[in-house]
Amino acid sequence: MPRTSDTTTHAPRIYLRNVSKRFRLRHTHSFKESFIAALRGKQLSTSFDALHDVNAVIGEGESVALLGFNGSGKSTLLKLISGVLVPDDGDVLTRGRIAGLIEVGAGFHPDLSGRENVYLNGAILGMTRAEIDARFDEIVTFSEIEQFIDTEVKHYSSGMFLRLAFSVAIHTEVDVLLVDEILSVGDEPFQRKCLAKIRELQRAGKTMVVVSHDLEMVSSLCGRGILLEHGRVVFDGDSKDAVSLMRSR
Amino acid sequence: MTDSVPPLDLRGFTRPGQGSGLFDVIRRRYLLSLIVRKDVGVRYRGSVLGWIWSYVKPAFQFVVFFFALGVFLRLNNSTEVYPVYLFSGMILVNLFNEAFSNSTRSLVDNGALIKKIFLPRELFPVSATIVAIINFLPQALVTLIVCLFVGWHPTLVKIVGLFVALAIVLVLATGLGMLFGAMNVSFRDSQNFVELIVMVVTWASPVLYPWTAVRSVLPPWLLEAYLLNPITSAVELFHAGFWYPTTSGAPELPPHLMLNALVGLAVSILLLGVGQLVFKRFEGRFAQDL
Ligand SMILES: Nc1ncnc2c1ncn2[C@@H]1O[C@H](COP(=O)(O)OP(=O)(O)OP(=O)(O)O)[C@@H](O)[C@H]1O
Ligand SMILES: [Mg+2]
């Protein structure tokens, strides 16, 4: 786990060169099926290009909105940057510590208490014990669920759950934050609070890649927009222009 | 946007998703400890007896085998201190079986996490093995107490042997768990296959019967193969450490046991290496196939 690096260097944070990702859509799910299909000369799988020849360099402190319709490859690209998936072609290179918030509360366990989950998730997102200890109160205060912190998470309302999960994620010590569709968590006051926190991180020089279908919000949050269509980059530039291009399609 | 990105100075850059395998598990040991604690804590949650189950299961298994084999098949008469013989071998094979089958399933069980957040995936089979150890420790303690009760006078070498046996079993279970676990992600046949192996393991080593019974029916070269099974060496080391020092000294231990055990340990380490290699090969597909 790389440490957060000092902010004096100005090399890019994310470097994508000719990145392609192909998914095999398998038609067989056991040795037996595969064997029979192979014997009959049937195709075992068809492939599908989720991303095709994507190029981009994302600099330090930059905030980028990743736009596109459903299935255009946004989540796939974030997963490649976070290392969950590996590219079939091209290079994905990153510098510094990266937290991919592909889904809020992915590492939460319903049978553990809020407190235990904060520690487990903090560690999953790459924090050390000392870092979590130091931030624990801040995390709980931000989520505003102090009263329930020792209750099992399965007894939380879905909003409370999202609050705590988002709060852990946003308090991780990182250089690059990948945010997928999670700014819509919680009620309106909490959403405002999240946006304020994100702006604070931007001012602190963190790099961000944000996916959201709330086009107004995301284009006001990020200066740059990358528009994906069927796995290809069709526009890379000012986020307002990206949004109007997307609306015109 | 087809024009390529300009080349640049790549110092300080890393390729996400390419860890250094089991070494990363050591580096992320705090996370490992939390995952183990989660698995242990969650295991018997919501059951009235809770952790008592981890004693009840081996106790029942012991009673069944003791009556079926010890009493009905009279092994109790022909083998000195048969209860200790039976129990000391049984707990070791149970440790192997549990570690092996849990680590095989660990990746599929943690699929939701693997699909969304990158973390060293080796954490899961390793934590499954550690959970099996935690389950094993009280059973080992019971064995020790019973041994002391019936009169136990081991030598230092025999006690060292106990740890060699544990090393064989744990390294082998983790290695095979990684191997079959990685295949299990794409082909769930793997875990069924492992269930078969686990069923055979208990009978393919001298756990329920003495190895001398095998000697009397197998030709020498087959006996040699039987004794080279790393699990057999580990089980015999456990017998040598726990059971043998409670007997009159009349029973026979297999020939050159320590040598066989060291070969077994070497084989286990080799298989751990193979497991890690296969794991790395398949790892790129985990997140998309789960
Ligand atoms: N593991 C997988 N196996 C096969 N196909 C996949 C897999 N993951 C994603 N895909 C396919 O890749 C394409 C892009 O998916 P992706 O999740 O990146 O879309 P998205 O842009 O995030 O969409 P949304 O706006 O709905 O979140 C989809 O057609 C999807 O079916
Ligand atoms: Mg998506």
Closest Cβ opposite residue A98 in set B12, B16, B112: B16
- For residue B243, pLDDT beyond 90: yes
Q: Render pLDDT for A144-156 as a digit per residue (tens, 0 to 9).
A: 999 999 999 999 9
pLDDT at site A9: 46
- Quickly list DSSP for A21-52: EEEEEES--SHHHHHHHHHTT--SEEEEEEEE
Question: What's the rounded mean pLDDT across residues B114-124?
Answer: 93
State residue A183's pLDDT score.
67
Q: How confident is the model at residue B6 (pLDDT cuts 50, 70, 90)?
A: low
Give helix B230-238 / helix B82-109 axis angle, nearest 10°. Answer: 130
Write the burial class of residue B59 (CB in 10 Å: 0-12 exposed, 13-18 middle, 19+ buried).
middle
Residues 175-234 of A with CB under 8 A from B: 232-234
Question: Is B127 in a helix, a strand, or coil?
Answer: helix
What is the C-alpha to C-alpha distance for residues B124 and B21, in angstroms, rounded to an integer? 12
Per-residue pLDDT of B255-264, as tens digits, reads 999 999 999 9
Provide the CATH topology of domain A14-248: Rossmann fold (3.40.50)
* pLDDT of res. A3: 45
Q: Whose CA is nearest to atom 24 of ligand 1?
A: A70
Reported as a single tens digit per residue, the pLDDT across A28-59 is 777 777 788 888 877 777 888 999 999 999 99
- The pair of three-digit structure tokens given for residue B190, joined into one six-digit string: 């793997």
The minimal CB distance from B16 to the residues A83, A102, A124 is found for A83
Please identify, by atom number, the ligand 1 atom nearest to the C-alpha of residue A85: 1
Q: Among B4, B30, B287, whose Cβ lies nearest the Cβ of A79?
A: B287
Within 8 A by CB and 6+ apart from A82, the residues are A98, A99, A100, A102, A178, B16, B17, B117, B118
Residue A101: pLDDT band with limits 50, 70, 90: confident
Answer yes or no: are the C-beta atoms of A37 and B194 closer than 8 Å: no
Question: Token pair for residue A78?
Answer: 């974030």
Closest CA to B116 of A33, A247, A181, A21: A181
CA distances from B149 to B135, B142, B143 (A): 23, 10, 10
The first and second tokens of residue B133, run together, are 């150890």
Mutate to test the pocket of ligand 1, among A23, A81, A102 (most ligand atoms within 8 A of CB): A23
Q: Tell me, yes or no, if A55 comes closer than 8 A to chain B by beta carbon.
A: yes
Question: CB of B143 within 8 A of CB of B244?
Answer: no
Give the tens place of pLDDT for each residue, B152-161: 999 999 999 9
Answer yes or no: is pLDDT of A1 > 60.
no
Q: Two tokens at B94?
A: 């149970």
pLDDT digits (tens, 9 = 90+) for B180-198: 999 999 888 899 999 999 9
Measured CA to CA, the distance from residue A180 to residue A79 in angstroms comes to 10
The first and second tokens of residue A172, run together, are: 């991780």
DSSP B229-245: SHHHHHHHHHIIIIIGG
Which protein residues touch ligand 1 with a CB less than 6 Å away? Answer: A 23, 25, 50, 68, 70-76; B 288
pLDDT of residue A107: 83
Question: Per-residue DSSP letters for A200-222?
Answer: HHHHTT-EEEEE-S-HHHHHHH-
DSSP B53-73: HHHHHHHHHHHHHIIIIIIIT
Over residues B236-253, mean pLDDT:
94
A44 touches chain B (CB under 8 A): no
Which stretches of B115-219 are DSSP H helices? Answer: 123-150, 156-186, 189-204, 211-215
What's the gap in Å between B113 CA and the centre of ligand 2?
Answer: 16
Of ligand 1's atoms, which has the minimum distance to the CA of residue A24? 4
Tens of pLDDT along A156-215? 998 888 889 889 988 988 899 998 876 666 788 888 888 899 899 999 999 999 998 889
Element (H, E) at A159: helix A158-170
ipTM surpassing 0.90, yes or no? no
Answer whether residue A6 shows pLDDT above 90: no
pLDDT of residue B8: 61
Distance B6 CA to ligand 1 centre (A): 29
User: pLDDT by residue (tens digit) across B34-74?
Assistant: 999 999 888 777 777 777 887 888 999 999 999 999 999 99
CA-CA distance, B128 to B130, in Å (whole number)? 5
Domain range list for chain A: 14-248
CA B95, B33, B193: angle at the middle one, nearest 5?
A: 35
Choose from B34, B40, B115 for mutation: most chain A CBs within 10 A. Answer: B34
| pLDDT score recorded for residue A166 | 87
Please tell me the predicted confidence (pLDDT) of residue B124.
97
Phi, psi of A230 (to 5 degrees): 45, 45
Strands A14-26 and A176-180: unpaired
Stretch A103-126: mean pLDDT, rounded?
Answer: 89
For the segment B204-213, the average pLDDT, to the nearest whole number, is 95
A82 CA → ligand 1 middle, Å? 16
Which chain A residues contact residue B112 at CB under 8 A? 106
Distances (CA, A) of A180 to A73, A139, A185, A214, B149: 12, 20, 11, 12, 62
User: In A207-235, which positions are buried (b, 16+ CB within 10 angstroms) versus exposed (e)?
Assistant: bbbbbbeebebbbebbebbbbbbebbbbb
Q: What is the mean pLDDT of chain B?
A: 92
Distance between Cα A66 and ligand 1 center (Å): 14
